[in-house]
Structure 1
Amino acid sequence: MSRYKFRLAGRLAGFILVALVLYFSFRNQIIRQPLPTWLQEQNSVDALVNGANRDNITAYTKAILDPADMHLPKLKCPLPDLSRYKELKPVNAAKSQTQYFFTMNLRECLPLLPRLIGSMVEAIRFLGLERCAISIVKGNSADGTAEVLAALNPILDKLTGGRMHLVLSSDIDPLAAVAGERFTKLADLRNIALRPMLDEPERYSDATVVFLNDVAICLKDILELVL
């Protein structure tokens, strides 16, 4: 029995030795391999999100408001042929009425904000600032989405002439809903986003509602929805 144990221990030691040799042989090669570009970009976003300090918020607001700013990773959109959408350009309309009502529910989507809200801002500038309103409801988020939206709120409110509506907190959590109630909770969140239209029906009586999900959408895509 003791001879059997000795052989077993010897084989185990040999196996461990071979494993260690292989590990240290390939370890340096693995470490030297560069990260894929997409992973490097995601890491840079994660680093900015961590802590959500003022510099991070400024970086996001700048990336959202300036289409040429590429300091943060965002989907590169093709330049649209704006002549196709000339009929959407401002016409003589009562300033008391809003013709385009942009609305969205957002949750845990900080990396998408530069493209998503950035494209929305581009669309609003094209369609006419005085003709557009924005309503955003933020769901449960811990990634910095709320901080960036809060920083954007006064800027977008001024941009649209006081037609920016932002809800940063809600007790409605679709992910925590019991079976069969998730879609009801999602509908409740959407209704909160649409509430400004119900509160001022005369202002939005002829408005086109542009409901955007948390996706990377381009200016052309939004204008196609409106067309």
Structure 2
Amino acid sequence: MGGLEVRWPKYQPMESTLRLVGSKIKWRPAQRHLVQLVIATGGLLLTVWLYLNLAPALPSSSYSSSSPSIMDQAIQKHNQTQCIDFDPAPVSEKLHSTIKLEKHTYNNEDISEFVCSIMNHDMNLTAKLDCSAFIDSRYGHLRPSPSASPPIQYYFALDLYQAMHIILPLMGTIIETMRYLGPEYCALSIVEGRSTDGTYAILAGLKTELAAMGVPYFLSRSYLDPKASGENRITALSHLRNLALEPLIEEGKKKNGRLSANPTILFINDIVLCPEDILELLHQRVLQSATMTCAFDWNANGGSFYDSWVSRSMSGNLFFEVTHDSQHWLADDMFFDHPDSASRWDHSLPIQVYSCWGGMVTLDAAPFIEGKVRFRSSEKDECYMGEPMTLAKDLWRQGLGKVLAVPSVNVAYEYDRARDAKDKRGYVDKIVGHTQYSKEEEMVKWQKTPPPQVKCMPVFGRQWWTTPV
């Protein structure tokens, strides 16, 4: 495994000493003054030249420290951007014309155009989604108060592989969300793995644009393949997720780091989504004081919930029943054995669950920074489960079982599936703005203890009950 982290070198001031050698030479007073004037003028000009040419390389630290913050090392601010007034329409058309080709190469000009299309993203062009044209005042409280030394409040984390086909709506949505929240309060960490479709080149190309926004950006590569022969898939996925969190955890250990007192992690899969999907998850985490909030990701036609393998309700069972022959024909009967959750589902209200993921989550960063939890695979003699379930299990062990699934946030992994999910399951603004959506009923009555038992399901055809913590 190899990695490249985007860091900026610490600027070391240069010192120059100009000396006149020739102690045996005797100068007249006028000549001596003239020489001193020339030396002084030269020194002044040298100082001005050093300032104009090297000052921009200084790290933009808000704190005085002998060891600059990793967040400061990850950003060099620029005032210029190459993407002003760029029209993303031709790039979107080109992407859709080549999206089904098995192999397609992109040159440097293509990469630059993709970068600018992300910075000027239009969801109607790329994904044909009817995302809200404006962001509701519902989310105004998520924007931190202006600060002379803005702390990092939101830490976006992604693991991406061969994501070229959805990189425009994915990264464009993240950029748009950052602009709303305040770029100076956001950081972005991406672990890219083994892509051959141009994904890494585009992500690297975003460096200058993110720097112009003031966003610390950490980009690394890993050649670990979770699907490789002999590789434990969940162990590999856990490692990649933890790798994306390394800059956050390192920063959290610093005495004068740039993190806020209560930062939030936003872990996002390679999905197609709207900005309000991200904001609604953040809103629910703050509103409900949740440790973790999850979206709902969907299969084709919005017909069945995708992340059923790692999601468990407060009955300890799957969100819907998967028969022992691995069939999903009961997928419409969500939360079938927990009446309170089923009722909330029918009204698209947030639901406390034992575990979830759904393509995108928000997480309280503190347990990770403090070393209380991490992404991990199952231990020996423990039920074999996905890393979202082991994470939930460890949160419940710590008394942090405020895990919330949010039915108003519906996403998917392809363009057509995302459109199907939004059309069938609903857009955030239409759900929360509906007269039947009760803000009073929206509040969850938290259950402090986990279910007595939780369904263990290494594969869909093998199921049994096990201990929850």
TM-score by length of structure 1 reads 0.72
- How much has 1:94 moved relative to structure 2? 6.3
- How much has 1:65 moved relative to structure 2? 0.7
Match of residue 189 from structure 1 = 240
8 Å CA contact retained: 2:158, 2:267: yes
8 Å CA contact retained: 1:98, 1:206: no
- How much has 1:76 moved relative to structure 2? 2.5
Structure 2 Cα separation of the partners of residues 214 and 222 of structure 1: 14
RMSD (CA atoms): 2.3
| Structure possessing the higher relative contact order (Cα contacts under 8 Å, 6 or more residues apart) | 1
The question of 1:176 aligning with 2:232 is answered: no
2:227 match: secondary structure: helix
- How much has 1:200 moved relative to structure 2? 0.8
Match of residue 184 from structure 2 = 130
Match of residue 210 from structure 1 = 266
Q: Measured at CA, do residues 191 and 99 of structure 1 come closer, stay the same or move farther in structure 2, by a change above 3 Å?
A: same
Gaps of 5+ in 2: 1-93, 284-469
Q: Percent identity?
A: 33
Structure 2 Cα separation of the partners of residues 158 and 189 of structure 1: 28
C-alpha distance after superposition, 1:39-80 (max 9, x if no partner):
x96433467x72210222122112211034876x33424215
Matches within 5 A, 1:94-109: 95=149, 97-109=151-163
Question: Which residue, out of 145, 158, 167, partners 1:113?
Answer: 167
Q: Measured at CA, do residues 57 and 69 of structure 1 come closer, stay the same or move farther in structure 2, by a change above 3 Å?
A: farther
Structure 1 Cα separation of the partners of residues 172 and 105 of structure 2: 23
8 Å CA contact retained: 1:63, 1:69: no
Structure 1 Cα separation of the partners of residues 112 and 128 of structure 2: 19
Matches within 5 A, 1:1-227: 42-45=96-99, 50-68=104-122, 73-79=126-132, 80-93=134-147, 95=149, 97-161=151-215, 163-167=216-220, 169-176=221-228, 178=230, 181-201=232-252, 202-204=257-259, 205-227=261-283
8 Å CA contact retained: 1:115, 1:216: yes
8 Å CA contact retained: 1:177, 1:185: no
Q: Measured at CA, do residues 51 and 117 of structure 1 come closer, stay the same or move farther in structure 2, by a change above 3 Å?
A: same
Q: Count how many residue pairs are aligned between Structure 1 and Structure 2.
A: 183
8 Å CA contact retained: 2:95, 2:165: no
Moved more, 197-206 or 114-123: 197-206
C-alpha distance after superposition, 1:127-174 (max 9, x if no partner):
01110000001011111101111111222133234x11111x213211
Structure 1 Cα separation of the partners of residues 95 and 222 of structure 2: 31
Q: Measured at CA, do residues 83 and 182 of structure 1 come closer, stay the same or move farther in structure 2, by a change above 3 Å?
A: same
8 Å CA contact retained: 2:123, 2:129: no
Structure 1 Cα separation of the partners of residues 275 and 184 of structure 2: 18
Match of residue 27 from structure 2 = none
Name the structure where helix makes up a greater proportion of residues.
1
TM-score by length of structure 2 reads 0.37
Gaps of 5+ in 1: 1-39
- How much has 1:122 moved relative to structure 2? 0.5
Counterpart residue identity of residue 239, structure 2: D
Structure 1 Cα separation of the partners of residues 275 and 139 of structure 2: 11
- How much has 1:126 moved relative to structure 2? 0.3
